[in-house]
Amino acid sequence: METLAFQGLIGLSVAMYLWLLAAGLTIVFGVLGVLNFAHGSLFMLGAYFAFTFYGLWGVNFWLAIALSLLAVGIVGYLMERLFLRHIYHLDHAYQLLLTFGFILIFDDAVKMVWGGVAKIPPLPSFFEGTLSVFKRPFPIYNLFIIGAGLLVAVVLWLLFEKTWWGKIVRTSASDREMASAIGVNIATVFTGVFVFGAMLAALGGALGTPVRVVAPGIGAAMIIQAFIITVIGGLGNLKGAFVGAVIVGILSCYSILLFPVFELFSIFLIMAVVLLVKPQGLFGS
Amino acid sequence: MKKALAIFALVFLLAILPQFAGKYLLYMTIHIMLLSLFSLGFNLLFGYTGLLSFGQAGFYAVGAYACAKILLAVPSLLVGIIGGVAIAGVASFLLGILCIRHTRIYFSMLTLSFGMMIFSLAWKWRDMTGGDDGLVGIPRAPLEIPGLLRLNMAPMQNYYYVVLIFALLAIYVFHRIVHSPMGLTLQGIRDSETRAACVGISVRNYRLVSFTIAGLYAGLAGALLPPLETTVTPPVAHWSYSAEPVLATLLGGIYTFAGPIVGAVLFYIMKDIIVRFTQYWLICLGGIVVLLVMGLRGGVLGIFFGKGGQG
């Protein structure tokens, strides 16, 4: 019993990376109507930048995270301004094809710059050590991650529900034409939201660097998980993204414990069941 | 008439190719034919039915692995290939039931995800697939119909003819499919789902049939692979492998019958040139996809026949 509860807590910390990833994906989709297949690659870039700043150059941990957010934000800005912006009017398939092309580009670009070998950056000293949970050692860092994930959830909720900025974004999401008629600059909102989503993905990647392996290919692995989450939770819905992330995170941790070979398989199974029973997702409309 | 003559000349050229071509050219031509079949199936979904799949490599891999397993147990080429195609067909039918519950963006997400599920199986299910080592030592078994004929497949050119015959047959059948009432129905669904449903077409069933046929073509291309390479490894199931028919189809042209075939030829010519200069082939692949999407949406055939740029 205690083993299960403990593993669940580990799963919750894994879920927080997935939540940060899925949140950005779903916000961008909700506002722009574009599903960014390269969103997982932005997560990967966040991890690589954080690794470079913190692990290689020895920049302060918090500053390294901030810098990697900034760097990925710039990448997102360029993606939106130079490419996506010009094909909003086309069929959705072309937007998917474009971002799919970007997965290939980012994957190889990362190999070019950082090499094909996985990197394992150091853990900041103030996060070393463990707490005793259920009489087992639980890493302090994972606790920090759970806290950070929940904090982001609260901040996002406040941002969207309580601020002027959130109102503008919600207006643009629900009726583009009306929003621009009342003086909202849609183009700027789109760029801003895309950059914001990219930074959320980068935050997940950067926070993960001290404890997860940084390697080429994690971008694609992450986007698959993000897709499973959005299928379970419903696309374009933040609550769905959070619940989906918790389900997938905890479930994958139990599967590793119980049947390691078919870890991914069990998550797909849940997705298949949701598809058959409620195709629009748990929180989809 | 001109068209028929051109096709005849092309088939004739392919038939006499082993007379003057070296081993490398034959090998490349076989790969071009495999990619053509793979891409035709992909385009039945994308160009004709309006469903963009990023997981076709999954069914390619099912065909390849199934054929390899059969050949390792029963050394008969036909049994291996037909068995591989059949199993890929079953797999695509079953996953198709799930994937076609959604269209548009969701469909693309689901196909990518289920494709990677097959990849993770190929990677981790060591007892069945050999894990990251893959399956090795697959015999290029003789083509055997008991009491009728037995052809040795050891020389590359004999196997080349087998692939050629399979490819020509499959392309002919594909031509019949897209020009049949069913092919028109699929295009009708692509252009307006609501209208198709209103005239009494079961949209979901047609999509499932289209998905299954695409899976069969991917499976056929996959099943023809192990006798050529004598090995099968997990990368054939990887999502980046699914990008190949995507690029070939975009290159050749989406809304034309021959687009994927022309694209497959161009794809291999480009790849052959690019990999001479750099190991970073994927970044070029991605760059070309981005370029085509940004500026050349009708592909090469679109440029020549003015069918480009349909949104």
pLDDT digits (tens, 9 = 90+) for A193-228: 999 999 999 999 888 877 777 888 788 888 888 888
For residue B32, which of B47, B49, B17 has the smallest C-alpha distance?
B17
What six digits make up the tokens of A147? 């806290």
- Do A237 and A281 meet the contact criterion of CB atoms below 8 Å apart? yes
Q: Do A108 and B282 touch (CB under 8 A)?
A: yes
Q: Whole-model pTM?
A: 0.84
Nearest CA in chain B to A275: B98
Question: What is the Cα–Cα distance from B128 to B122, expressed in whole angstroms?
Answer: 8
Is there a contact between B121 and A276 if contact means CB atoms under 8 Å apart? no
Q: Which two tokens stand for residue A36?
A: 């960014």
CB contact under 8 A, B112 and A227: yes
Cβ <8 Å between B311 and A94? yes
Q: Exposed, middle or buried: residue B16 (CB in 10 Å: 0-12, 13-18, 19+)?
A: exposed
Contacts with B46 from chain A: Cβ below 8 Å: 93
The pLDDT tens digits for A267-278 are 888 887 887 788
CB–CB of B101/A275 below 8 Å?
yes
pLDDT band at B225 (very low <50, low <70, confident <90, very high): very high
Q: Is residue A132 classed as helix, strand or coil in its secondary structure?
A: strand
Nearest CB neighbour to B290, from listed A83, A230, A279: A83
3-class DSSP state of B238? coil
DSSP class of residue B278 equals -
Backbone angles phi, psi at A35, to 5 degrees: -95, 115
- What per-residue confidence (pLDDT) applies to B310? 42
Which among B98, B285, B290 is the nearest to A272, CB-wise? B98
What band does B305 get if pLDDT is binned at 50, 70 and 90?
low
Nearest to B233 by CA among B148, B307, B123: B123
Phi, psi dihedral angles at B135 (to 5 degrees) = -100, 130
Q: Please check the confidence at residue A133 and state whether its pLDDT lies above 90.
A: no
How high does pLDDT run on average in chain A?
A: 85
For residue B306, what pLDDT is reported? 60
Q: Where are the domains of chain A?
A: 2-277
What confidence tens digit (pLDDT) does each residue in B78-120 have?
A: 889 999 999 999 999 999 988 887 777 888 888 888 888 888 8
Average pLDDT over all residues of chain B: 86
Report the length, in residues, of chain B.
311
- The encoded tokens of residue B2 equal 């001109």
Residue A275 to residue B240, Cβ atoms within 8 A? no
Per DSSP, B142 falls in state P
Average the pLDDT over A91-115 and give the result. Answer: 87
Dist CA B230 CA B139 (whole Å): 6
Instruction: For residue B115, give both structure tokens.
Output: 């494709």
Question: Considering just the CA atoms, what is the radius of gyration of chain B in Å?
Answer: 19
Candidate from A93, A96, A279 with C-beta closest to B101: A279
Q: Count CB-CB contacts under 10 A for residue A116.
A: 12
**Total Cβ atoms within 10 A of residue B197:** 13
Task: Evaluate whether A260 touches A56 at the Cβ level (below 8 Å).
Answer: no
Q: Which of A92, A102, A228 sits opposite B290 (nearest CB)?
A: A102
A259 near B CB under 8 A: no
